[in-house]
């Protein structure tokens, strides 16, 4: 298992959902559990890679994987950029918040106590950087790491899920896009997943699952190993 193209390579994986703080006790978050990213990290380590897992989640760390704990999109971005130069492969499995509160309030936001005061605060949001697109730009035309993105697409028709996936692969410019179908009862927090693997510059689609997230991870590495 420790033979093959990943042996001795440095793989950097992001996992989990970012948390964007509003005040010391509240944040904006999302339903990503981090399980698929951890499975990707575990599978890479089993193939002999040196693995850095940049994570917001608190799951059991796979053997041989080094972790960097982050919370916000900005911290995740900094960690990815810090490891960019030494990376042979980068996998952006994290669910990065597209928006964060414009202002952080360093004391707990309170409701009005006056009788009849039923006012509520308005929360203004600002855009977070698109880290995946930025990593691709950062690589430019130079030889750099293979970059893998994820896409969570809702929708019942597979054709529309793939169409959105293709457009996203084009827009983000990464080498591989793992498109997963999400819905209220699918994917999030589950041990199983169904994905479609799209490769830049190819019209081929590889469907994987429904299968354990580790099986999905191994299918991703089987494809990425052909690119490293
Ligand atoms: O645009 P969308 O969020 O659907 O793209 C998902 C992919 O982009 C994932 O790989 C995710 O990690 C990455 N992403 C990012 N920065 C963002 C939003 C998404 O790197 N602000």
User: pLDDT tens digits for 42-83?
Assistant: 999 999 999 999 999 999 999 999 999 999 999 999 999 999
Cis peptide before 210 (omega within 30 of 0): yes
Q: Between 118 and 157, name the one with better pLDDT.
A: 118
User: Predicted confidence band at 192 (pLDDT cuts at 50, 70, 90)?
Assistant: confident
**Percentage of the chain modeled with pLDDT above 70:** 96
DSSP string for residues in 119-176 = ------EEEPP-HHHHHHHHHTTS---EEEEEEEE--S-HHHHHHHHHHHHHHH--SE
pLDDT at position 31 is: 92
CA 59 to each of CA 18, 44, 67, 98, 179: distance values in angstroms, whole numbers, following the listed order: 15, 17, 11, 23, 23
Reading the block at residue 161, the tokens are 């899920």
pLDDT reading at 143 higher than 80 = yes
Distance CA 118, CA 111 (A): 8
Q: Which of 30, 128, 180, 193 is catalytic?
A: 30
Distance 111 CA to ligand 1 centre (A): 34
Atom of ligand 1 nearest to the CA of 94: 12
**Rounded Cα distance, 152 and 168, in Å:** 11
Q: Is 137 exposed, middle or buried (0-12, 13-18, 19+ CB in 10 A)?
A: exposed
Ligand 1 within 6 A of CB of 32:
no
Is 193 a residue of the active site?
Answer: no
Residue 61 is predicted with a pLDDT of 97
Residue 1 has pLDDT above 70, yes or no: no
Structure token digits, residue 160: 């529309």
- Contact yes or no for 75/30 (Cβ under 8 A): no
For 101-121, what is the mean pLDDT? Answer: 94
Ligand 1 pocket, residue 206 CB under 6 Å: no
Q: Is 177 helix (H, G, I), strand (E, B) or coil?
A: strand
pLDDT reading at 225 higher than 80: yes
Confidence of residue 190 (pLDDT cuts 50, 70, 90): confident
Q: Tell me the two tokens of residue 83.
A: 């490891």
* Average pLDDT value over all residues in the chain: 94
**Residue 111 pLDDT more than 70?**
yes
> With a 6 A CB cut-off, is 150 part of the ligand 1 pocket?
yes
């Amino acid at each position: 298992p420790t033979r093959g193209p990943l042996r001795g390579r440095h793989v950097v994986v992001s996992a989990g959902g970012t948390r964007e703080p509003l005040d010391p006790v509240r944040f904006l978050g999302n339903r990503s559990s981090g399980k698929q990213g951890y499975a990707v990290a575990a599978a890479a380590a089993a193939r002999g890679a040196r693995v850095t897992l940049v994570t917001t989640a608190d799951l059991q760390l796979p053997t041989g994987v080094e972790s960097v704990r982050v919370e916000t999109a900005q911290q995740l971005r900094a960690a990815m950029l810090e490891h960019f130069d030494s990376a042979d492969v980068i996998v952006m499995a994290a669910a990065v918040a597209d928006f964060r509160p414009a202002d952080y309030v360093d004391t707990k936001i309170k409701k009005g106590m006056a009788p009849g005061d039923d006012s509520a605060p308005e929360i203004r949001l600002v855009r977070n950087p698109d880290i995946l697109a930025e990593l691709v730009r950062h690589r430019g035309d130079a030889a750099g790491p293979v970059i893998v993105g994820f896409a969570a697409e809702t929708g019942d028709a597979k054709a529309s899920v793939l169409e959105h996936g293709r457009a996203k692969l084009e827009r983000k410019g990464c080498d591989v896009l793992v498109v997963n179908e999400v819905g209220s009862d699918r994917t999030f927090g589950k041990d199983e997943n169904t994905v479609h693997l799209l490769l830049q510059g190819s019209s081929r689609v590889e469907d994987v699952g429904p299968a354990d997230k580790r099986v999905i991870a191994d299918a991703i590495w089987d494809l990425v190993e052909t690119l490293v």
